[in-house]
Amino acid sequence: QVQLLESGGGLVQAGESLTLSCAVSGRTFSSHTMGWFRQAPGKEREVICISWSSSITYYADSVKGRFTISRVNAKNTVYLQMNSLKPEDTAVYFCAARPGSGYHIGRDDFDYWGRGTQVTVSS
């Protein structure tokens, strides 16, 4: 069983930065695909970025160039660095994990989820 716990959310102003962390339990963190998703009020949960390894990543167009996913396998932790935040980035942010390294980026492809952390960006 894999458990995930997000932290680092909060209220920031537009243009500011925020870093989210996701602590992952379990011994096989390095073999899992890790992802960050977000869900705004009234909208479906959407993928933001995926990490298959430190060098193989995917970013949604809406965050490309502003957000960075990284992982430290020795700490069983994945991070989401968010720069140049916009009001439209306001959402609950979720960390997710799935075993293996196949190319899967849909929310239904992920087996394990954190409870989420709120990010609010004011204009």
Q: What is the pLDDT of residues 29-43, one digit of tens each?
A: 888 899 999 999 999
Mean pLDDT of the chain: 94
Task: Write the pLDDT tens digit of every residue in 10-65.
Answer: 999 999 999 999 999 976 788 889 999 999 999 999 999 999 987 889 999 999 99
Q: What is the pLDDT of residue 87?
A: 97
Per the structure block, which two tokens stand in for 37?
């998703």
Q: Record the tokens describing residue 21, joined without a space.
A: 């962390």
Residues 62-90: b if buried by 16+ CB within 10 A, e if exposed: ebeeebbbebeeeebbbbbebeebeeebb
